[in-house]
Structure formats: structure tokens, C-alpha cells
Structure 1
Amino acid sequence: MLYGNNLYKKEYDKELQRFEALFNFASIGILVTNRQGEIVLINDFALEQFGYQREELIGQTIERLLPMRFRPKHEEYRDGFSSQPQSRPMGIGMDLFALKKDGTEFSVEVSLSQYQHEEGSFVISYINNITERKKAEEKLEKMHNELEQKIAERTQQLTHALEQLELSKQEVMIALNKEKELSELKSRFVSMASHEFRTPLSTILSSAFLVNQYINTEDQPKRSKHIQRIISSVTLLTEVLNDFLSVGKIEEGGVTVRSNTFDIQLHTTAIIQEMQDLVQEGQKIEYEHKGPSKVKLDPSLIKHILLNLLGNAIKFSGKHAVIRVNTLQKGHIIKLEVSDSGIGISEEDQQHLFERFFRGTNVSNIQGTGLGLHIVSKYAELMNGKITCKSELNKGTTFTVTFLQS
């Protein structure tokens, strides 16, 4: 029995030596932390990467190896990983940085995995220094940019040469330019139609076919239903086209602010009345104004802003929902606010809300161009204003447009 135990211990020691060799002589940094983020094991390669002696790091938290600006946030990430651990492979597109003992920062890739032991829960980190690769990528990007610059310069030279040739070949160039413009227009239209027009056009086609089938008097409710579907689809197509036209005008500087003194309370009431035909079943729009009602803004742009915000509130709220509109004038400040209790917007999506063509991750099944809020923000800026958003998923959204009157 003693012989068996000795043989077992000998084999165990061999396996332990193999593990230690694999751990210490690996050509990648490896360290192990406990649930508190304290380093309990670190291999020689990692020590060389960071410039520490082993006794300087054992017992220290992993944040010791991070630049100061990342440490507070990393503690939150670490706690989140500990509560919901999952393996994270190398090269997932995150820009990560580590800190050497001498204060030098370097780019790294990190792979994480967790294991349970009788002594507790531990995380294994595999750390790869990718500084040289980053330098190579930056060099490649620089070369790419230089190449693009050269292409741009050559294109400009070619354009200049074509302009010179226009003196002798004016008719040919005019025809060529028209053909080019037509080709670009066709390309944009096909792209837009494939994304935004397909569903409403299909609805119009199918509804028109069905209306034609209902020839009896008793079929009138069915006819009315499909006629309404046609009207809704045409309205959607009109909105899409208007959005594209508005963005074009804004980018070309073709939008002129025409400020007039008008009653914002009466103006808002009239706009809300126009939207009544679009509300869903049981939806209700409540409006309140505070302060003087005479303002000096562009009533046309105000109408476009309110129509867009109300349209979104109606579209993203459920049936029987209450949508609230508030206007306020206090001193030089004018505020326009639209609130709903709809699906809401995530914090991450709110960071990009007013960018062109951006749509929230939770609205993929609801049609839209992703241009409306971008246009609203630009119209607000033209009138010396700004738009802000407060929202919580599944609890609703409030958009506030604030103007500063001169």
C-alpha cells in the first residue's frame, strides 16, 4: 500500500511539475485572481511584461495593473463578471490598456475564464501585449489615409482637367454629368425603395386588389378597412420622402429660419388636433401651457418638431396610452415637452439618438428612417435651441426642446 501511495505521489509530482512548467514558461501572461480581484498566481512572462517582482503583486488587486483612469470603472466590471461569469475570448474588438511598474502604458488583449475550487471562485486572465500589432495597424491606417489623400488629389486634378476640356467638349460633358447624376439618383432611389418602400407598397398593392374584389354593398366595411390601409401606407411613404428631402435641405444649408411672433398655445392646440386621426385605439393627448403664450420663433419649424415628436410618441406607445404635451415660457426660455409611457429607449441608444439613420435596438419591428430626431435636433439648433431626452426601457420617454429667445 505504501508503494502504491509513493507511486501515486510521484505521478502527482510529475503532473504538478508539468503544470508549473506550462504556467511559468508560457509565452503569454497568465495570472489568477480570487473573487475579491486579488492576484494569487502570476507567471514569469506576465511579471516580465509588467516589470514587477512576484512578491510585489501577490495579494494586490488586478486594478494595480491598470491605468488610473480605468480603475474605478473596472471594479464595477469585475464585480459584474464575478456575479455572472462567462468566458471571454481574445480579440473581441475591445481597446484595452495595461500599466507597467514604470508607468508605461501598453495595449493588450485579454481572455478571461473562471473556475471553482474548494477554496473559492477564481478567474484566470490570459494577457497578450499587442503594442507592436497596434503600431503596425496604425502604420497601415496611415498608409491607407495617405493613399486616400493621393486618390483625392488625383481625383481633384482629373476634375480640373475635365473642367478645362469642357470649353471644347461642353455638350459631351453636360450629357456625361447628367448621366452620372441620373445614375446616382437611381442608385439612391433603389437603395431607399428596397429598405423603406417595399412593405407599404406591398400593402397598397394587396389592399387595392382586395378592394377591387369587394363589389357588393355589404362589403363596404371590408373596402373601408383596405382603403384605410392604403391611406396609411401612402402617408408613411410621404413621411419617408419628406425626411430625405429635409435632410438634404439641412445639409445644403437650404433651410431658412423665418421667426414670427405667434401664439404657441393656439399653434400647439391646432397641431395636436391634426394628429388626432393618427392616434391608436384609446390613446389620448393631453396638453398644458404655462406662462405667456406669445413667442417669437419659426412656427413652421416648431410644427415640424412637434409633429415628429408626437408621431413617435403615438407610434411607440401602446393602445389606451396617455401622451402629454407641455409648453412653457419663462423669461427668455421657451420649452416644448412631449412625454409618453411607451417602450422607452436604452441608455446606450440615447447616446446616438440624434445621429442620422440611427434607430433604437428595440424598434426593429416598427418602420422608420432613423432621420426624424436628427432633423428635429437640427431645426432646434437653427432656432438657437437644443433637444434632450430622458427615457427608461418599458416606462416611457420625455423629449424636451428648449429655446433661448433673444
Structure 2
Amino acid sequence: MNKVTGIGFDALFNNASMGIMVADEQSHIVLVNPFLLKQFGYTEAELLGQGIELLIPQRFHQRHVHHVALYKEHPKTRPMGMGMDLYAVRKDGSEFPVEVSLGNYETEQGKYVIAFLSDISKRKEAELALQQLNEELEKKIGERTETLTSTVSQLAAVIAQTEAKDAELNRINIFLNNIWDHAEAIIYVTDSEGIIKMFNPAAEMQLGYAAAEVIGKERPSLFLAESDTGLADLVEKARTGQPNERELVYIRRDERRIPVSQTFTAMRNAQDEIEGYLGIAMDISERKKAETDLRLALEKEKELSELKSRFVSMASHEFRTPLSTVLSSAYLVSKYETKEEHPKREKHVQRIVSAVNTLTDILNDFLSVGRIEEGRIQVRYSTFDMQQHLQQIAGELSGLLKSGQHIDYVCEGGHMVELDPSLMKHIVMNLLSNAIKFSPENAVIGLHSRHTGQYFILTVTDKGMGISEEDQQHLFERFFRGSNVTHIQGTGLGLHIVSKYAELMNGTITCTSSLGAGTRFELIFTLKEPTGIYEKDITD
């Protein structure tokens, strides 16, 4: 019993709104609280002396025996079954999920294990047994008083019975003291005004406050997050007997936040008057982390599933045209056997080569996206002549130009830059080929580069069909294609790859476009070191 408050540990044991059980070294039940009896539907006489396997579903018995053996080798206060689903079975055979915390202690009578069992399917309202216990004791005292007027032998029997009861109560008090000291759960008791009167060691350790700092001075609102339910609401629900188990956030002394599952119960005397409140909370950080990890994994799995579906749909569509070209041209080549038909054969061979190149480009895009997602793209910086590099790329694309089209290249500033020439080539070829593909005949494709010393700026412009504002919002997403170009062959991966390559080289890309008026892409790269002042150099 606490000397300051006058509250006995038996009140905590009998009023706890979670199941509490004590077992000896042979795994026999030696003490259970009323809440556990109600959870399982047994009487105390039916459980005392029984093996704890009585409360465990049959299919888990063998595994449980193994875990008990391991715990006996290394006993310590900890949650039971971390990462596993635990189940218990009631007397009527029905099962329900539980959370279990274990503690151990040793007395002169032997070693004991304390288990806290919480029904996580539905937190039941704790039933206070204090009044029943007082009435039972008063009844027994009355019976003893009556027997005093009978015979000396009856008096001796009453004395013996009283002594036995006192010994039992003392043993229970020792058990409750050990429960208080070894419980992993945060346990605190307040008076009827909400002032904390008891604060167990687990509360000190997990919240960072010493008992002396809070007892008689603070309320539970000290560590309740402001955004959560206030103390007044908890008190009101406890006072009116409403279910009062919920998930809250506690704030430690160091301001670190921890999620907990808390029960808050009113403690009443024999006159049904509230003398205080009992709060029991269990840290559920690990469970919350597991739930978050699972949710993220499911979201990632969903994203991958959608990506696979889009890939299959796109691949089946984009592969069909070049494969049909290869098949038809190969068939026709086999039909042209004479020397005079050589030009026709050559024409279809070129069609096959072109179709195979198209397939290769599509597959390269797939591989590039895969490498980007896996983080396997390495930037290999080197100093090179950007003007010469861009002129060479434009020359390689001359074969794609439509009738009357030409690329107008303007270089402003210095020529030498320190970037990855391979990634830059992929970026420029993608943007220029898109400009060629989506622009009409006789159109001018603009290519402009500018070196400021600190930045390298590259722009590609065309006078093509343009991109709607709505499509521009999704332009750099994987597999996205504008609503006005679905009839033109493409994978929807090119601009996604361009944006990722630019990002890897500390660059950004923006798009300015309107339908029917053309499109302008601008890339800005922050160079590693300013390389001086450059004279203006314009090259067509």
C-alpha cells in the first residue's frame, strides 16, 4: 500500500482494464485478476493451478512450449510474440487476438512470470471489484463476530482463517508490488482532481520524468499531446462508464512523441464515489512502424503492378508496327529473286533495318528507365567542346528531317563545359527527334546553347502541333503521351528519361507550349565551377 495515498496495490490489480496473470516455474497459473476471468469466461477456481496452455488455442500449443523454454533461459521484461499474431481461447471455445507483455521476478517461494493480456479486438470496460471485495470482507467479519459468541473452538477457527487470509493478502500485495515494479506498461494513478499520485518505473523510463517530479504536482496532460483527447474528456468518459480505450500520442520530456494504446478507468470506493483514476498505456511504436511499412510496401506493389500493366499495353502496341514491317518486308524479299528486282529487295532490307532500329530504341528506353529506377545511372563528368558536340548530334539526325526541314543551331558564350557527354547526347537527340517528328515539312527546328560561366542553358524549339496545358502537367511522367499525338508512334518514356538525366547532372527542364503554336524546352545546368568570362560566339 502506498503510504502517501493510502491506495493498495490490490486496487490496481483488481481494477486494471486488462488481463493480468501470474504463473510459476511449472507454467501453472497461481494468480489471475478479475478482468482476465471475465475475458476468458472462467472462475478463479477453474484457472488456479491449471497450465497456461488452457488459455491458448490447441494449434499453438507446441510452438508455445518452445517459446516458454526460450524465455526461461533468458527471462526479461519484454513484449511477447513481437512480429507475430497472438491468439487466446475463451472457455466457450471462441478465440480472440491479444497483445501480451511479460515480466519476471523471484521471491522466496520461487520464480514467477507476470503476463499482461489485452484484448485488441475490443477493449472491454474494466469492472471494478473494490466494492465487492469490501462487502465480502465485511460479511466475513460479521460472520466471525457471530461465531465469537458461540464456542471457543469456533473462535480459534475464525482466528486461524483470519491469519490465513492475512497471509494470502500479504502474498498478493507482494505480487502486486512486483507487477508495479516490473510491468512494461506505463501505469499512473491520479486522485479525483486528476493530480498524479502514483507513477510506476516504466512510466519514468518511457516518459523521462522522475516520479518525484510529477507525484502531487502534475496531471496526465503533462504528457498528453495537445492535438489528442484532453484529460477532461478522459475523465468524463471514465466517470460515466463509457468505453475509454484509445490510441493516443504521449510526449516525452525530451519532446519525442510516442504512440500508445491507453485505458483510463475511474476507481470507486464502497459508496460508489470516485476516489481517483487509473491510466494504463502500452507503447505501440513498433506496431505503428510495421503498419506504416506495410502500407508503403502495398503502395509500392500497387505502383509496380500498374507500371507493368502500362508497360505490357504499350509494348504490345509499339512493337506491333515494326514487327509487321519486318515480317512483310522479309516475305517480299524472298519473292524478289532476279537481278532486276535488286532495288526492290534493297528497299525492303532498309525497311527491316529501320524497323529493327525502332525496336532497339524502344528497348533502350525500357532499359534506361529500369536503370534509373534502380539508381544504376552513373554520371561521368568530363570537359568537352559543347558546340562541336551539338553540331555532331544535329548532323547525325539529318536523316530524320522531313522535306524542307532544317536545324538552326546558335551557340552563345564559351564552348567548353564539364558535363556528361553521353547523357547530354541522349537528351539532345531525344528533344531534337521529337521536334522533327511533331513538326510539319519546311519547319525550322531551333537549337540554342548559352554558356554564362555559372550555368549552361540549352533550348530546343519547334513550330509543331504543341502541347495542351493539361498534358504539360504530366509531361515528364513514365509512359505519358499527349492526347493529340496518340496516332504517332512513341513510348512515352523519352521525356521522363530526359528529365531524370538532367536532374542527375544538377539540371532542370521546363516546357513552354500551346496548341498549334509549337513547343520550347529549356534546360539549365548549374556547372561545377564558374569558368570565367566568354566572348560571344554565334554559329548557325
Distance 1:237 1:310 in 2: 19
Structure 2 vs 1, CA of residues 277 and 256 (structure 1 numbering), >3 Å: closer, same or farther? Answer: same
Distance 2:361 2:296 in 1: 37
1:295 to 399, 410, 417: 417
For residue 343 of structure 1, report the CA deviation from its aligned partner: 1.2
> Pairwise mapping of residues 87-236 of structure 1 onto structure 2 (< 5 A)?
153=294, 193-236=315-358
> Pairwise mapping of residues 42-81 of structure 1 onto structure 2 (< 5 A)?
none
Deviates more, 1:199-208 or 1:390-399: 390-399
* TM-score under structure 1 length normalisation: 0.53
The answer to whether the 8 Å contact 2:510/2:523 transfers is yes
For residue 317 of structure 1, report the CA deviation from its aligned partner: 1.2
Distance 1:220 1:154 in 2: 63
Whether 1:276 and 2:398 are equivalent positions in the alignment is yes
For residue 191 of structure 1, report the CA deviation from its aligned partner: 5.0
1:335 to 447, 457, 480: 457
Distance 1:389 1:296 in 2: 24
For residue 219 of structure 1, report the CA deviation from its aligned partner: 2.7
Runs of 5+ unmatched residues, structure 1: 1-148, 157-185
Between the aligned residues of both structures, percent identity stands at 61
Alignment-derived partner of residue 388 in structure 1? 510
Aligned AA for 1:320? N
Whether 1:369 and 2:467 are equivalent positions in the alignment is no
- Runs ≥4 in structure 1, deviation > 3 angstroms? 149-156, 186-193
Distance 1:222 1:403 in 2: 48
Whether 1:239 and 2:380 are equivalent positions in the alignment is no
Structure 2 vs 1, CA of residues 395 and 224 (structure 1 numbering), >3 Å: closer, same or farther? Answer: farther
Aligned AA for 2:487? N
Distance 1:385 1:318 in 2: 30
For residue 225 of structure 1, report the CA deviation from its aligned partner: 2.8
1:345 to 454, 457, 467: 467
SS of match in other structure, 2:397: helix
For residue 221 of structure 1, report the CA deviation from its aligned partner: 3.5
Alignment-derived partner of residue 320 in structure 1? 442
Distance 1:207 1:322 in 2: 33
Aligned AA for 2:350? Q
For residue 243 of structure 1, report the CA deviation from its aligned partner: 0.7
Question: Could you give the per-residue CA deviations for residues 50-77 of structure 1, whole angstroms, max 9, x where no partner exists?
Answer: xxxxxxxxxxxxxxxxxxxxxxxxxxxx
SS of match in other structure, 2:482: coil
The answer to whether the 8 Å contact 2:314/2:491 transfers is no
For residue 321 of structure 1, report the CA deviation from its aligned partner: 1.9
* TM-score under structure 2 length normalisation: 0.40
Aligned AA for 1:285? I
Larger of the two Rg values belongs to structure: 2
Paired residues, number: 233
Distance 1:385 1:301 in 2: 12
Distance 1:358 1:193 in 2: 13
Question: Could you give the per-residue CA deviations for residues 356-395 of structure 1, whole angstroms, max 9, x where no partner exists?
Answer: 1110001111111101000000110111111111112122
Alignment-derived partner of residue 28 in structure 1? none
SS of match in other structure, 1:367: coil
Distance 2:381 2:320 in 1: 39
SS of match in other structure, 1:249: helix
Alignment-derived partner of residue 135 in structure 1? none
SS of match in other structure, 2:321: helix
For residue 154 of structure 1, report the CA deviation from its aligned partner: 11
SS of match in other structure, 1:399: strand
> Pairwise mapping of residues 248-263 of structure 1 onto structure 2 (< 5 A)?
248-263=370-385
SS of match in other structure, 1:389: strand
Distance 2:436 2:411 in 1: 20
